[in-house]
Amino acid sequence: MNYRSEPLRGLRDSLPIMLAYFPIAITFGVLATSSGIPWLTTCLISVCVYAGSAQFMMASLALTGISTISMVITILLVNLRHFLYGTTLGPTFMSWAEGKKWIAAFGLTDEVFAVTSGRSVGETPSPRYQYTFSFACYFSWVAGTVVGASIGGIVPSAVSQVLSFALPSLFLALLLLGRRTLPYLISAICGGAIASLASLMKLGSVGIIAGAIVGATLGMAVQRWFERTSKATGQEVTS
């Protein structure tokens, strides 16, 4: 991969996420400003926080008058899954300089992690590719927020609620575009079931974390069982 093609590849890979981020960010901007949050504050939330579900929750908590400490703790719990993302991709970026890792970490959203983890199998993404990919998604989110915040005062709330379908649709598309193997499907189904059950039990972000851990662990266990079985079968055939 040459110097020029890596950023182009990163931009190409970011386009589906950019197209999904833009309407979701518009929804956030509309809902935030229509709820009374100032335009500048709304935009700064996307610029500094850059976490879709956490931003919607932050706007909701701010309107309830919750304390700053409680809000910070709640947002940290919601985004605790990013710790798992970082540890998963850590070995992939081991050869990077420490400062470059921190820059890449800022742009590590759910969707960026999903694409990066798939693209990095067998290769280490270069900073040129990863920065282009991550920050193209970031700029799409910020741009959508600016647009939504700018029109928030004139858009009916019923219309803004319709745009919220983009977030679950994006996650579903990323799931269907993943590896279609039995361990992958078992991991996805188990994780989704646990997260859904936790949601019904009003456990909040605990279900997302538990679903990710249990689903990934179960999928890995099944994958290793398949590998051991195939090796044993190969040895029997050879003997």
| pLDDT at residue 18 greater than cutoff 90 | yes
pLDDT at 198: 79
Q: Distance between CA atoms of 230 and 98, rounded to whole angstroms? A: 39
Give domain status of residue 171, yes or no. no
The one-letter amino acid code at 154 reads I
| pLDDT grade for 137, boundaries at 50, 70 and 90 | very high
Mean pLDDT, rounded, for 2-6: 68
Angle (CA) 136-125-17 rounded to 5° is 30
Q: Distance between CA atoms of 135 and 108, rounded to whole angstroms? A: 10
Give domain status of residue 21, yes or no. yes
* 186 and 96 share one domain: no
The one-letter amino acid code at 126 reads S
Q: State the total domains in the chain.
A: 2
Give domain status of residue 112, yes or no. yes
**Neighbour tally for 61: CB within 10 Å:** 16
Nearest to residue 89, comparing CAs of 120, 50, 45, 122?
120
Bigger pLDDT: 51 vs 174: 51
What single DSSP character describes residue 94? T
pLDDT digits (tens, 9 = 90+) for 104-116: 999 988 889 888 8
| pLDDT at residue 99 greater than cutoff 80 | yes
* 72 and 103 share one domain: yes
Task: Name the CA radius of gyration of the chain, rounded.
Answer: 20
Q: Distance between CA atoms of 116 and 3, rounded to whole angstroms? A: 19
Mean pLDDT of the chain: 80
**Domain span at residue 87?**
5-166
* 16 and 134 share one domain: yes
| pLDDT at residue 130 greater than cutoff 70 | yes
Q: Distance between CA atoms of 215 and 88, rounded to whole angstroms? A: 14
What single DSSP character describes residue 122? T
